[in-house]
Structure 1
Amino acid sequence: MTSHSTDDLLLQLHNAALSDMHTSRPKKLVRALAYQAEDLGPEAEAFATEDALRRALERALSTDQLVEVWRRKLTDWDFATDPAWSRSPERTEARRSDIYGLLGISEETRKLLDSLVPVAKVEAPVVITDEFTPWYTPQSQQGRPWYWPSYRSHLERKGWGAEAVAGLDVATDAVVERLADPTHPAAYQSKGLVVGYVQSGKTANFTGVIAKAVDAGYRLVIVLGGTLNMLRAQTQRRLDMELVGRENILRGASEYESDYANDPAWNQGRFVSFGSLPSTRGGFDIVRLTTRDDDYKSLLQGITALEFEKQEPALPLHDARNLHRSMARLMVVKKNKSVLTKLVKDLRKIKTPLAEIPVLIIDDESDEASVNTTNLAKPDAERTAINQKISELLRMLPRAQYVGYTATPFANVFIDPSDAQDIFPKDFIVSLPRPEGYMGARDFHDLDSAIPPEERTFANSNELAHVRNITVAADEDAGDDVCLQQAMDMFVLTAAMKLYREAEGGYGERYFQHHTMLIHESVRTEVHRELLGKVTRMWWNAGYMGPSGRERLRELFDTDIAPVSAARADGLAVPPSFDALARHVGPAVTRIGGDDNPIIVVNGDKDIETGEADFDRRPIWKILIGGQKLARGFTVEGLTVSYFRRRAGNASTLMQMGRWFGFREGYRDLVRVFLGRSESMGAKEIDLYSAFEAICLDEENFRAELRQYATLVDGRPQVTPAQVPPLVSQHLPWLKPTSPNKMYNARLVELRSPGHWQEPTAYPTKAADLRHNTGLWLPVLDALSTEVMSLGYRFTGDATRDGGVHRFDALVGSLPAQDALCLFREVRWGAPSQFAPHLAYLEEISGASSCDLDDWLIVAPQHTKRGQRLTLGHSERTFAWFGRDRRRGPLFGAISEPKHRAVPLRIAGALADSGDPATESLVVPRRGVIVVYPVIEAKHRTDIAEDGRMAPDKIVMAFSFVAPSAARGSDSRVLRFTTVDRSREGQPIIDAR
């Protein structure tokens, strides 16, 4: 028997044996192999041994098909959540040991498998899913597993670590397995959403999804690559380079006829190569229907390029006997009405029945342009143009699977789920983990730092290290010029730092190909024209080669670069003084402006565009001025200094403008963001730094909610994608999550929150209701201690957060569970539906038959300094009040202060020992905590009398609460919903339990 047939037989045996374990615990391997060998004949029996596996593994590469089969299965078991067959945590050596023990394999085989398939320690994606039928198993890979192994190898050659590749493998599986089986006789259209981070590698994920999908049988892939030519071209090149490969691009043409003939990466051999066309090597080809420079065009010679060949004409294309012998087609198209119209028109002409074609539609930046913004409930309403064309594609392609990708998901989850023609992710939402080495919003803010502001340093404060204020002086232009000059100086100084690191080491063999600064103030071209003139004058007057410029750089180095890099360089080279760096300043200035063109304007206006921001074809060390073209999706390579004053009215838009998010290998400590502070917006004052902080909180809350509800209960999802929208929060009144013109189909009935901070915000506006609520709380306040307690919680530092203490003063008291429930029932609300799900849960845990809750600790935080005091209650004691304002309607933004949260969470049993005797003295089993905040809105703050008295109808008695961490109710379900079926308006609500 030949070596090739031996490998095939061994692969077939292990494929079958491991596939039989798809939904079960690991089983004795040799017994499973022997069972499968009975069906494969006498030749197979000789290979149904552990020795045969061990010999194969000793000579195997990490990308061999046998290793792929084992990688998939071991990763499944490594990532399994609370399996019955292992008590070890997922993705640990202990879990892997349990697996090997159940398989019954020797220590030698274990070491071989560990070396080829190391335990992935990366975070798993969070998946909110509807129920689905598993089909993507090792057996489904018997077609032509070609492009995923190739892509995996390419990533490893690029320097991706084993854990990063394993994480991508798991994350892409989570998507592909929820698509429909392309070979199934019945057509099903799955729709899903993948949520990443801004500039975090979403393209790598959907490239992997495409690779696995075409291997599994999807034969037409349509990538909607944004609304701009430059973004579409960037996506096309990435797919061509890393997935499609040289041979599929050339298809027999010479190297010089390629659309990448002038691309350095093409000439350096960095495009994937298979040696010859995949179809000649046992694989299948990918035919490109778009190129880097050309979007989809109506096909000139008929529509032959879209015709799918059938080896068995009597069978449908989706039959495995046809599907796995057919070429795949790939197109990257702009989200443009005319382009999509051409595609729809051509698809209608082809002879292959559209109902037979397994299609994958990848929608990059799916919250932009794709979402319908027309209220279809209005008479004669029509869908917006791009949404209409996407809907048309989905209607005419019954086997089309739609997967949207975005970092700002709120527009997508607010789509009405009952609109069957829209792109609501009815089947799944996958939240990708934060990648290793990524710099995101959290890395520029001190969201949960326990360190008091006055004790923060470059080492322990992200804001101090990376963020610089654009302060507006009395002469706004003069103040702006000072800040802009400092940003430009920082750009030159960090360029010199990069050259120093290239020369001195600490960055390996690599060099910094790109170094950029982004100025983003407006989308208007006339502003860009003015900026170009201003920045050009400032550059040539900066005097970087003379004494005045050098003195500014020296001061900036001594006060900023040196101390920040000393704390955060993480082993990278840092000059001991400016004098040691000075020799690199001249070369840095020359790289940036040596061609007399230090600035590139990227805005589509040919009159003022000064160059092309094509990072693929040449190194770019430039200042970029841009607007919308640089605000979404497009990657600005080497971005080190950002100067940002652009305003936006919703979180999705503003977050996408955070081009400084991304991977900054070798210069993370040099990244600086200059942000506008306290600018006016109509009658309001806005602060861009606070806006990004609020977005980050909204995003992290949303991801945390998804993570909490992703756990299955009795094998079924707690929530489906249709029930996700109520989980979206908003922290700033003027910064809405997304355009607020979409409805959703779920109504929250009960929200169980054991050990979680909950903060209702829909307080009433009517004077009678406010007076009523104040009256409810006065007896509770009267019963509080007269002595102020100092309460604290000590956090232990780790790799992601410095240690420190959250401490505050408070008056405390207790309230029996039944008394508190009576109060909860009586509180009046401006939007009762917001608190109703909480009340249902509080009713359940406070019942006479419940053993979950005994009492509530009442905590009234007090300001450290005297002031902001209200005289309340019959005893006429004074209490601290808090200034807060409503965001819209009856809703406030965040009311509590972060430093107040850790102590209540500890007392409720959600955190470990506080390290604070006063706090620990309040810890009692089955105790919850209520934190009371008397709130005064801005319009009433002048009404407070000198003695602290105020009319009770001008006080908002706000509160937050933490239920005991053990108060989980009668089962482990977190949410209970009802759903509204818009096709049955007026009929009873459907219970979705």
Structure 2
Amino acid sequence: MNNTETIEIIKTFIKEKAKKEEYLTHSFFDKIKNEIVNLVRIFPGIAEKDDRTLDHLYQTSVKEFQSVNPIDIDPSNSLTKKGLPIWLTEERKKSIKDDYIKRYMTFLAKKGRSEKVLSEISTSSEKILSKLGDPKSEKSFYIKGLVVGSVQSGKTGNFNAVINRSIDAGYSLIIVLSGIMEDLRSQTQLRIEEEVIGEGTVDVTKDRTGFKGVGEIRRFGEMGDQNVSQVFSVTSYKSDFKKSVKDTVFSLNNKNILVCKKNTGVLKNLLIWLSDYLNENKEKHDIPFLIVDDEADNASLNNLGKKGVEYASAINGHIRALLDLFTKKSYLGYTATPFANVLQDRNQTIALKWPVTYKMNGEQVLKEFNQVGNIFPDDFIELLNTPSNYVGAKQIFETVFEDNIKLPLVELIHDTNIEFPSHVPKDEKSDRAVTKYDDFPVNLPRSLIEATQCFILTIALRFSRLANMTDSGFLNPHHTMLVHISRFITWQNKTKELLIEYLWKLESDINNDLPNNSKLIYGTLEKTWDKYYAAIVHNIRAYLPEGYQDEFLLPKTFNDIRPFLIDAVKGIEIKAVNSATGDKLHYEKDNNGNGKKIIAVGGNRLSRGFTLEGLTINYFIRNTNFSDTLLQMGRWFGYRPGYLDCCKIFTNTDAVNKFDATTRAIEELEIEFKKMSRLERTPADFVLRVRKHPGTLKVTRPSILKNTKLVNWSYQDQLVQTTKFIINDAVKLTTAWEAFKGFIKDQKNNIIKNKGQDFYLIKLDVQQLIDFLKLPNAFENIEIPQIIKFIEIAKEKNKLRNWTIAIKTSGKGKVLFSEKSGLDENITLSERSGPIQKNSHYRDIFFTKGVFGASGKSANIVGAGKDFSLLLSDEKQKEVEALFRNEILEDYKKKGILNPEQKSQKTTIPERVYREAMSDDEGLLVVYLMDLDTVFRKGENDLEMDEMVAKNRIDTDIPLIGYAIGFPPISPDPGGEYLHGDYDIEDEIDETEEWDESMEATDE
């Protein structure tokens, strides 16, 4: 029995013992050690292991168990069309074999997945299958769904579970569309072979095939269990669906799965082959057909539909024609950025002909196909939630509602404006045109040199932890650094050359200099370690979110990793992954089990879907204005067992600001989705919400909204907050305060103190509120004109006619005396601390841009959720609080949480609970007066802050004014038409594949 199998047995015994314990301490694992070691010794193949080996395997098992056991995950949320038949009943499940899905879940369990994560994969995939068409149905069907999951969070694992279930249920032809790049298609093919088929390419460098993955657990067909039909793949790691493939044995009588990229040549071949395969006098195939469209927001959408019903973009038209060849078909999209999918054209006409031309016997042939109306996910949208050990945008960038400490992974850089331009003159459209330029960088920027040094340090750090991770299923042997500077190939290739040159010198110095000489390379690397790693490696556990535990994150010093530097720098491959170089990323192990060390310089090919194994260092200055594109570029999101503290994101202020805005938009829409799911709303409801969300125009490519001059925006059922402030302009701060005091003076006779004595309340009509909103302010990120316009439109429809301004009077800051504010009594100011951590991106933005924003957990300025209960009666408050706590209690019970009643009573009630109970005739604007002494850390011996205050002559005795505006739900949504803003953006140019003539359908 090998060590991995032994660890699984030990963990099984630990799990049984742990069930009886409420709290798991280190002493508990020490106490049960001897008993468990003696128990496992009776197993064949374990008894022969010596005490030292068993002790290592036990300690590894404990660390894995401690790291996996706390992982939690919420069930997926659904929006389903009214009346959609859910055919997978409890009775029906009994008639469906579970051969493929059971084998797959066993495979995932052996890879060390948490039981809760496994349970959610199983449950969510079953939910999704139940909403697809019934493959055993005697009637025709066409079902369209969309699954949304975070970038690098495990969407592929989920759709492989759906595919396994769909094979068990009776789907006999499955086509997986895996993006527009061959690299991604090949990677997806390997995953499908490993997790669904069970055989295929096992060594890409030697082109060796055999059984793999699930096939090592159980085999089907002639080579295994003949009672279960084996699924076949006509495509392979090396070959998409083209002429040489389609002429091989491919029978629709078998169960088939094809992995194809979204390429017109490939899809054309499929169309012609499937239409030629039809029996005589038959117009359509009767077999159940499933398309799984990965990266469904990329290339699949119809960007031309707004021109008229006769228009369709090429890939979209081919997909719709493919679907129309079948009587029973389901379309299932997967994406991390659903904005484009819900904004896409919804052409309903199905009588259109789709023309396809190809060669037959040397002659050009035209064939016309029918099309389905669209691939819009009318039937259902499923939102997959991430497990607690996932690190995504919300753990790194600015949030409003997620109150978690941000991981200090971002390092701001300022030296790349000249060296790596992200654009060329508008008359230069192709990558080849860039080669005419002679202003290539002569040297690497200092920031990229330090990022490369960090990569060497991370490899050494991970090597120093290998002894503790050997035999662990959590060990990722690979190491990757991503350099993402431009979509232009020439810049990528030049960067590769410069990195090769620098790395050669770095390796030479590390091999030849004395390790203890602080004036040479080892001294330089120690300074880099102290600058970027010493603090986070020592304190990483303080930043881990709740439910995230990693016992392999052992503290290390530079002296600990120094001996590993020579091995760390050895054998690093530098690849420019683009169509010009042909460089490929292969992550196979060598004969000793060691992984690859790769610096990948890339553009679009590394932007979507592609998984970079063991990714630690990200040098990202790629310029894009589209949030969905930006999120997809976040290859650093995901799971990093044993090396989360190794990770760094080197980027610029502009990218951080865009990631902050994007993260907030995603967060708001996820909250909206979950609320709609609770209320049993439909995909159409979510579409309307996304279309009217104020951030929508900034989150997707303009081609999706092409020819749209007027756009509906709405603030109904939203909390709008000022989360960023201009802090270095003394005139702006003072003017805002004086204007606010003037308003207080004018409203003196209209101000009352609320019954809780925590607020001054001012009742206003719409015009008075608008006058208040027009006062001078120091806001950096709120669109006051759009808010005013929405309020005016709402008033025209007899909504939001009455407003209350509530000035918070109780905080934790200094006292603002009544004579300074013009109010009757003293106010204790709210506290919002300025950025503390040195070298953090928020601190950098504070000093370089003069902008104060999120600096710790979230950008939320709301003091407490109950602040938004001011307009509710006592009875209504108690009613909504009881309803919320009951929902939480039921949720905790479903998740099997201990003491659910006690925990539900302690759960903080969010502001939305109160705001959503407000009348649609009332709005609430809460004013938070924040202590500028706290913002500038006065008295904290922060010399940089003191100098900033003195240099800009800022009066810290006046407050910083922030707003939180609560809009209630309004039905029907008043919306509002606003002119399409000029965001100074152009559509992205895809770095697509060179046209491959061999992909053309031909008879020659």
Task: Tell me the TM-score range normalised by the shorter chain.
Answer: 0.5 to 0.7
Mapping for residues 723-872 of structure 1, pairs under 5 Å: 723-726=688-691, 728-730=693-695, 739-741=703-705, 753=717, 757-758=719-720, 781-783=744-746, 813-816=760-763, 819=765, 834-835=790-791, 843=799, 857=806
AA in 1 matched with 2:240: D
Q: 1:962 aligns with which of 958, 966, 982?
A: 966
1:409 aligns with 2:373: no
AA in 1 matched with 2:121: L
Q: What does residue 212 of structure 1 align with?
A: 165
What is the CA deviation profile of residues 472-503 of structure 1, one whole-angstrom value per residue up to 9, with x for unaligned ones?
28986699621111101100001000100003
AA in 2 matched with 1:437: N
AA in 1 matched with 2:863: A
**Maintained 8 Å contact 1:712/1:718:** no
- Separation in 2, partners of 1:416, 1:778: 50
1:599 aligns with 2:561: no
SS in 2 for 1:663: coil
- Separation in 1, partners of 2:533, 2:153: 26
Mapping for residues 918-933 of structure 1, pairs under 5 Å: 929-931=924-926
SS in 1 for 2:599: strand
1:524 aligns with 2:488: yes
Q: 1:566 aligns with which of 538, 547, 551?
A: 538
**Maintained 8 Å contact 2:176/2:258:** yes
- Separation in 2, partners of 1:552, 1:787: 66
1:296 aligns with 2:241: yes
Q: CA deviation at 1:351?
A: 3.5
SS in 1 for 2:465: helix
Q: 1:492 aligns with which of 442, 452, 456?
A: 456
Q: CA deviation at 1:742?
A: 5.6
Q: What does residue 188 of structure 1 align with?
A: 141
Mapping for residues 865-904 of structure 1, pairs under 5 Å: 898-903=859-864
**Maintained 8 Å contact 1:750/1:838:** no
Q: What does residue 236 of structure 1 align with?
A: 189
Q: What does residue 316 of structure 1 align with?
A: none
SS in 1 for 2:678: coil
- Separation in 2, partners of 1:219, 1:745: 45
Q: What does residue 569 of structure 2 align with?
A: 589
Q: What does residue 885 of structure 2 align with?
A: none
Equivalent pairs, count = 712
SS in 2 for 1:356: coil
1:397 aligns with 2:326: yes
* Structure with larger RCO (C-alpha < 8 A, sep 6+): 2
Evaluate the alpha carbon distance shift between residue 842 and residue 612 of structure 1 in structure 2; reply closer, same or farther with a 3 A threshold.
Answer: same
Q: CA deviation at 1:658?
A: 1.1
Q: What does residue 472 of structure 1 align with?
A: 415
What is the CA deviation profile of residues 746-781 of structure 1, one whole-angstrom value per residue up to 9, with x for unaligned ones?
99899863xx524699xxxxxxxxxxxxxx999965
Q: 2:559 aligns with which of 579, 583, 589?
A: 579
- Separation in 1, partners of 2:721, 2:194: 49
Q: CA deviation at 1:579?
A: 2.0
- Separation in 1, partners of 2:709, 2:378: 11
Q: CA deviation at 1:409?
A: 0.9
Q: CA deviation at 1:282?
A: 2.3
Evaluate the alpha carbon distance shift between residue 162 and residue 572 of structure 1 in structure 2; reply closer, same or farther with a 3 A threshold.
Answer: closer
Evaluate the alpha carbon distance shift between residue 675 and residue 461 of structure 1 in structure 2; reply closer, same or farther with a 3 A threshold.
Answer: farther
1:368 aligns with 2:282: no
Q: CA deviation at 1:672?
A: 0.5
For normalisation by structure 1, the TM-score amounts to 0.62
1:425 aligns with 2:377: yes
- Separation in 2, partners of 1:298, 1:751: 53
- Separation in 1, partners of 2:103, 2:498: 49
**Maintained 8 Å contact 1:391/1:422:** yes
Q: What does residue 613 of structure 1 align with?
A: 585
Q: CA deviation at 1:695?
A: 1.1
Q: CA deviation at 1:743?
A: 8.8
Q: 2:289 aligns with which of 337, 347, 359?
A: 359
1:137 aligns with 2:89: yes
Evaluate the alpha carbon distance shift between residue 842 and residue 431 of structure 1 in structure 2; reply closer, same or farther with a 3 A threshold.
Answer: farther
AA in 2 matched with 1:216: A
- Separation in 2, partners of 1:526, 1:745: 36
Evaluate the alpha carbon distance shift between residue 265 and residue 467 of structure 1 in structure 2; reply closer, same or farther with a 3 A threshold.
Answer: farther
Q: CA deviation at 1:133?
A: 1.5
SS in 2 for 1:662: coil
AA in 1 matched with 2:274: L
- Separation in 1, partners of 2:701, 2:664: 11
Evaluate the alpha carbon distance shift between residue 474 and residue 977 of structure 1 in structure 2; reply closer, same or farther with a 3 A threshold.
Answer: closer
AA in 2 matched with 1:226: G
Q: 1:689 aligns with which of 635, 656, 671?
A: 656
Percent sequence identity over aligned pairs = 25
Structure 2, unaligned runs of 5 or more: 1-11, 13-68, 350-372, 420-440, 542-549, 724-738, 774-783, 815-819, 823-850, 871-876, 882-904, 909-916, 930-960, 978-1004
Evaluate the alpha carbon distance shift between residue 717 and residue 404 of structure 1 in structure 2; reply closer, same or farther with a 3 A threshold.
Answer: closer
- Separation in 1, partners of 2:610, 2:460: 26
Q: What does residue 434 of structure 1 align with?
A: 386
- Separation in 2, partners of 1:524, 1:718: 38
1:447 aligns with 2:399: yes
Q: CA deviation at 1:832?
A: 8.4
Evaluate the alpha carbon distance shift between residue 450 and residue 721 of structure 1 in structure 2; reply closer, same or farther with a 3 A threshold.
Answer: closer
Q: 1:555 aligns with which of 500, 505, 527?
A: 527
**Maintained 8 Å contact 1:784/1:813:** no
SS in 2 for 1:566: helix
- Separation in 1, partners of 2:713, 2:629: 31
Q: CA deviation at 1:204?
A: 0.6
What is the CA deviation profile of residues 676-724 of structure 1, one whole-angstrom value per residue up to 9, with x for unaligned ones?
23xxxxxxxxx111111111111111111111111136xx659645434
Q: What does residue 536 of structure 1 align with?
A: 500
Q: CA deviation at 1:188?
A: 1.7
1:332 aligns with 2:259: yes
AA in 2 matched with 1:604: S
**Maintained 8 Å contact 1:650/1:739:** no
Evaluate the alpha carbon distance shift between residue 134 and residue 743 of structure 1 in structure 2; reply closer, same or farther with a 3 A threshold.
Answer: farther
Q: What does residue 673 of structure 1 align with?
A: 649
- Separation in 2, partners of 1:298, 1:271: 29
Q: CA deviation at 1:872?
A: 14
AA in 2 matched with 1:585: L
AA in 2 matched with 1:287: F
SS in 2 for 1:170: helix
What is the CA deviation profile of residues 216-243 of structure 1, one whole-angstrom value per residue up to 9, with x for unaligned ones?
1111101001111111111111011111
- Separation in 2, partners of 1:415, 1:613: 33
**Maintained 8 Å contact 2:263/2:315:** yes
Q: What does residue 277 of structure 1 align with?
A: 221
Q: CA deviation at 1:567?
A: 0.9
Q: CA deviation at 1:342?
A: 0.6
Mapping for residues 93-104 of structure 1, pairs under 5 Å: none
1:664 aligns with 2:640: yes
Evaluate the alpha carbon distance shift between residue 821 and residue 499 of structure 1 in structure 2; reply closer, same or farther with a 3 A threshold.
Answer: same
- Separation in 2, partners of 1:242, 1:270: 6
- Separation in 2, partners of 1:839, 1:858: 24
**Maintained 8 Å contact 2:483/2:599:** yes
- Separation in 2, partners of 1:824, 1:359: 56
Q: What does residue 599 of structure 2 align with?
A: 623
- Separation in 1, partners of 2:700, 2:927: 26
Q: CA deviation at 1:913?
A: 11
**Maintained 8 Å contact 1:222/1:362:** yes
Question: Which deviates more from structure 2 when the two are superposed, residues 151-160 or residues 279-288?
Answer: 279-288
- Separation in 2, partners of 1:283, 1:648: 49
1:156 aligns with 2:140: no
Aligned-CA RMSD value: 5.1
Evaluate the alpha carbon distance shift between residue 427 and residue 824 of structure 1 in structure 2; reply closer, same or farther with a 3 A threshold.
Answer: farther
